[in-house]
Amino acid sequence: MSQSNFEIFTCENWWLAMSVFEKSKPDLIILDINLPWKNGIEICKEIREKSVTPIIILSARWDEEDKILALDLWADDYVSKPFSPRELLARINSVLKRFSVINKNKDDEFLEFKNIRLDLRNFSVFLKNEQIKTTKTEFLLLKYIIENKDNLIMREKLMKDIMGYDHYIYDRTLDTHIKNLRRKIWDEFEIETIRWIWYKVK
């Protein structure tokens, strides 16, 4: 990792990790799920209350529920052991690239379209001034769609920019997220599917 021009800080427990996080403000965090006193998922949740810094969870577990829980808590990727240094490096670069795309307007505090308002600092969605509950992926999809509302949005690019091909995400899962968004914000605008390849806001 150090040979790839990354400056690395290692921590053996959660309180040291939080101290280093506060002082160093890293560009990316890698958390092992099995840490003393507090596991990686709990630390991920604690960090997400303070920061949007990308997080990758490492685990020897292959349970799908652990993966879903970690991603729902705003982890950016979940890597199951064993893995090669080359694979981990590829995952790191993929997450950092997606993070730069998602946060291209990071100096803005709010994003508004019709009666929808996104609080970009707190990852909250408001519809007619009333907060609606969204998952991490739903929030990022809605943000991306609103930012590109004047364009046709290619399905393949949407999956790559928001979720990455190496996530445990497939076409049907994207369809589910879009379906949920349509249900939650249907009265405000329609997300139209064009030939199953493009999306367009109406």
Q: Tell me the per-residue pLDDT of 168-183, one tens digit each, with 9 for 90 and over.
A: 445 567 777 788 888 8
The verdict on 20 and 49 lying in the same domain is yes
The enclosing domain of 33 has a CATH number of 3.40.50.2300
The enclosing domain of 156 has a CATH number of 1.10.10.10
Residue 172 — φ and ψ, nearest 5°?
-65, -35
Q: Tokens in use for 70?
A: 């970690």
pTM of the model: 0.65
The verdict on 84 and 115 lying in the same domain is no
Contact 140, 147 (CB under 8 A): no
According to DSSP, residue 190 is labeled -
The verdict on 117 and 156 lying in the same domain is yes
Strand ranges of the sheet holding 191-194, from the earlier edge strand across to the other edge: 153-154, 198-201, 191-194
Report the 10 Å Cβ neighbour count for 189.
17
Reply yes or no on whether the pLDDT at 150 is more than 80. yes
Q: Tell me the per-residue pLDDT of 81-100, one tens digit each, with 9 for 90 and over.
A: 899 999 999 999 988 887 77
